[in-house]
Each structure stands twice: as C-alpha cells, then as structure tokens.
C-alpha cells in the first residue's frame, strides 16, 4: 500500500471507494469471470468519471497555491473539461476550458449536448478554439492562462486529461490501494485489469500503485488515442515521474519495468473519438446484458477489447478480470447517429485529417 493521503494533500471530490460488482450476464456469455469497478458512478459531481479521482490532488494543490481559476483543455465533447468545471464549481473557483476539435463528427448537436451542455450549465466557460489531439502544450491554452492573469485572476493550469502534470498520476496510484482493500473484503484477487487509456495518467497511476503490492497482476491499457506510440510515451513518462515523486516525499520506493506497461492498439480505430462497428456492438452488449452504459470514444473501445480478448481465450478460465469503468456516458447523446446505422461510421467521421504526425 502507498498510503498517499499521508504524503500529499487531497480535496475530497468523490464518493470513494467506488463500487465493485460482478458482471454476471457478461461473464456467462464470455466464459470468464468479469467484475466492474465503477469509477463512472463514484462522484456526485455531474456524472463523475476518472478525472475526479485525479483532480482531488490537483485541486488541493491549486487551493494551497492560492489559485482561483482552473484552466484546462480537451475535445469539444471532453469528459475531462466537464469534470474540471464541476470541481471548480464545488470549490468556489472559476474555470476556463479550451474545447478543441479533436475529431470531426457529423452531428448538428455535437457542440451543444452531452458534456459541453453540462459544462455550460455549471457556469463553466468553454472556449471553442483549436484543432488536433496532442498531449503537447497548446498556444490556445497559454492564451487562456494569460487572459485570466490580465483579468487579475490566479490561474491553475491543468493539462489535457489532467495527465502531464506532476500530480497527475496520484489519483490512480491511490486507486490501487482502494482495489487492494476491496479485494480483502471480497476475498478475491483480480488477475487482470482492463482499462481505457489515452492521455495516460490513469494507466500510469495504476502501474505505479499495483507495482507497490506484493502480488503481481496484468494491467492491460486499451489505447483510445489511436496512436499507440504517443500513448505509450505518455504512460511511461507519467509512471516513472509518479514513482519518483512518491519517493521524493518519503513514500515507498517502487521498482518499475517498462515491460509491465502493456498497451493494446487493436481497438482504437478508425480514429480518436470515432467508433468502429466493433465499438458499437460492444456498447450494445454491455447495455443489453448489464444496463451498463459505455461511450463511443473511450469505454466502448475498452469494452470491445475486453470482449474480444475473452473470446480469443486470452485469459485462463480460473482468472478474474476487473473492467475499470472510467465514465464518459454523457457523450452518448452526441453520437446518436452511430447507433442508427453503424455501417455508415466512416462517412460520419472526417477525423483522419486532424491526426497529429
Ligand atoms: C479521459 C478518459 C479516459 C482516458 O484516461 P486517461 O487518463 O486520459 O488515459 C478513458 N475513459 C474516459 C471516459 C475518459 O474520460
């Protein structure tokens, strides 16, 4: 156990521990015992999601530094900027969020419903500007930081996904302690963890947190950025930085090996934010069998990966698999066309043009 609460300040934003339950009907169909860890329902803040867990540590830092405005960046239908706005609202802070076009999805209400609607509702200030998914620093973001400073505010910069930030990995490193304690209560051990990965700090935090435990397990990140090299760089950088940070604060020394960072590239296509027919059928399956809602950008892809790996007999029959649900269902409303005719998905998407090279 890492016991990060004894090393770093944390502002409570979620209802933790998030629940773990068995997906009985999916387990029957897939022939593997599958459980879900529901980080999608672990927060009272506007439908929650995985960014809440990370933001607990970033917002505590923002408060300690006397900042009054959170400034972040994401896609138009970003779950992250919705959660930053929610965290700002309950902390009595302002927020500005740059909402870029990371995906061109042909839907007339794409920039009006779902996450961006909720962001506006919570008093957020989404600024629709910029193109292209990348974890590098954007000048649109720097412009927003400068604007807050000129207005006399004190901005706290939060990168995309809350990831490439010194404290970005703490939320999911701490998550590993939480899972360990729940396993003790349930009397089980999860051999394999399956999680969607994109900007990287969710998987990176898990890699660090679980590496600190005596019994080894497999963590499979299902890439959703559709750029596995970029995702791998992000996860690796954040994992090593997080382990160093914990050690520098007097915490446990954690030995990492790059071979333990497993990222599966096979379910991310056709592009970031664009579902494939496989994504859509996995979303339908989880909804029909478990009434568990997953989205076309992230969790539908990790769900497609999990179903496919189970069907390919990747896991021994006595294995227990934990699917970590990171949220994202609010985006479903912006994707209704994907469910009308999945054969038309590539026509609906004009994303390739925005891919970073
Ligand atoms: C942000 C997000 C992810 C990816 O997490 P990272 O920490 O960016 O890798 C996965 N699922 C959902 C629903 C998200 O909002």
Same domain? For 12 and 136 the reply is: no
**Residue 55 falls inside a structural domain:** no
Which one of 133, 162, 191 terminates a domain? 162
Q: What is the pLDDT of residues 203-223, one digit of tens each?
A: 999 999 999 999 999 999 999
Q: What is the domain range of residue 110?
A: 67-162
**Residue 329 falls inside a structural domain:** yes
Same domain? For 99 and 201 the reply is: no
Q: Give the bridge partners for 59, in sequence order.
A: none
Q: Are 276 and 270 contacting, i.e. CB atoms less than 8 angstroms apart?
A: yes
- Cα–Cα distances in angstroms (integers) from residue 354 to residues 99, 226, 272, 342, in the given order: 15, 12, 10, 22
Cα of first residue to Cα of last residue in the chain, in angstroms, is 40
Same domain? For 158 and 198 the reply is: no
Same domain? For 129 and 38 the reply is: no
Nearest CA to ligand 1 atom 8: 199
Centroid of ligand 1 to alpha carbon of 115 (angstroms): 14
> What pLDDT, on a 0 to 100 scale, did the predictor assign at position 138?
72
**Residue 355 falls inside a structural domain:** no
**Ranges of H-type helices in 161-298:** 170-186, 201-211, 228-248, 277-290
Same domain? For 183 and 270 the reply is: yes
Q: Give the bridge partners for 264, in sequence order.
A: 222
Same domain? For 116 and 139 the reply is: yes
Same domain? For 232 and 336 the reply is: yes
> What pLDDT, on a 0 to 100 scale, did the predictor assign at position 354?
47
Same domain? For 232 and 333 the reply is: yes
Q: What is the pLDDT of residues 265-294, one digit of tens each?
A: 999 989 999 999 999 999 999 999 999 999
Which one of 122, 137, 162 terminates a domain? 162
Which one of 97, 128, 162 terminates a domain? 162
Our answer to whether residue 78 is catalytic in this structure is yes
Q: Are 47 and 36 contacting, i.e. CB atoms less than 8 angstroms apart?
A: no
Number of domains in the chain: 2
**Residue 36 falls inside a structural domain:** yes
Q: What is the pLDDT of residues 102-157, one digit of tens each?
A: 888 888 899 999 999 999 999 999 999 876 665 556 788 888 999 999 999 999 99
Give the ligand 1 atom nearest the CA of 235. 9
**Residue 58 falls inside a structural domain:** no
**Residue 268 falls inside a structural domain:** yes
Same domain? For 33 and 93 the reply is: no
The domain spanning residue 96 has which CATH number? 3.40.50.1100
Q: Which of 198, 286, 334 to probe ligand 1 with, by most ligand atoms within 8 A of CB?
A: 198
Name the token pair of 259.
């071979």
Nearest CA to ligand 1 atom 15: 79
For residue 348, name the pLDDT band (cuts at 50, 70, 90).
confident
CB atoms inside a 10 Å sphere around CB 213: 16
Same domain? For 37 and 179 the reply is: yes
pTM exceeds 0.75 for this model: yes
Residues with Cβ within 8 Å of residue 183, at least 6 apart in sequence: 189, 190
**Residue 53 falls inside a structural domain:** no
Same domain? For 107 and 148 the reply is: yes
**Residue 13 falls inside a structural domain:** yes
Cis status, amide bond into 17, omega within 30 of 0: yes
CA 349, CA 337: separation in Å to the nearest integer? 11
Residues in contact with ligand 1 by the CB-under-6-Å rule are 49-50, 79-80, 161, 163, 196-203, 298-299, 326-328
Same domain? For 339 and 216 the reply is: yes
């Amino acid at each position: 156990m890492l016991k990060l609460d004894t090393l770093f300040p944390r502002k409570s934003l979620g209802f933790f521990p998030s629940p773990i339950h068995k997906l009985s009907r999916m387990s029957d169909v897939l022939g593997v015992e599958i459980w879900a860890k529901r980080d999608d329902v672990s927060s009272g803040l506007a439908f929650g999601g995985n960014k809440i867990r990370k933001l607990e540590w970033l917002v505590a830092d923002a408060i300690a530094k006397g900042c009054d405005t959170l400034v972040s960046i994401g896609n138009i239908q970003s779950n992250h900027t919705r959660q930053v706005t929610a965290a700002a609202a309950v902390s009595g802070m302002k927020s500005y969020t740059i909402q870029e076009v990371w995906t061109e999805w042909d839907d007339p209400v794409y920039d009006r419903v779902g996450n961006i609607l909720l962001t506006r509702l919570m008093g957020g200030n989404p600024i629709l500007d910029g193109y292209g998914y990348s974890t590098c620093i954007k000048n649109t973001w720097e412009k927003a930081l400068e604007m807050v400073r000129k207005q006399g505010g004190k901005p706290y910069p939060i990168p995309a996904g809350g990831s490439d930030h010194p404290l970005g990995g703490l939320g999911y490193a701490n998550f590993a302690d939480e899972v360990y304690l729940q396993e003790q209560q349930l009397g089980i051990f999860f051999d394999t963890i399956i999680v969607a990965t994109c900007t990287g700090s969710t998987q990176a935090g898990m890699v660090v947190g679980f590496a600190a435990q005596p019994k080894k397990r497999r963590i499979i990140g299902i890439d959703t950025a559709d750029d596995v090299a970029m995702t791998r760089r992000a996860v690796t950088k954040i994992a090593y930085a997080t382990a160093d940070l914990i050690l520098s604060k007097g915490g446990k020394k954690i030995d990492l090996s790059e071979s333990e960072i497993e990222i599966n590239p096979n379910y991310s296509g056709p592009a970031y934010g664009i579902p494939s027919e496989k994504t859509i059928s996995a979303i339908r399956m989880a909804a029909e069998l478990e009434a568990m809602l997953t989205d076309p950008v992230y969790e539908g892809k990790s769900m497609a990966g999990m179903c496919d790996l189970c069907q390919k007999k990747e896991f021994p029959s006595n294995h227990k698999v934990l699917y970590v649900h990171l949220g994202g269902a609010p985006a479903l409303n912006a994707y209704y066309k994907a469910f009308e005719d999945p054969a038309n998905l590539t026509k609906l998407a004009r994303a390739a043009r925005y891919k970073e090279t």
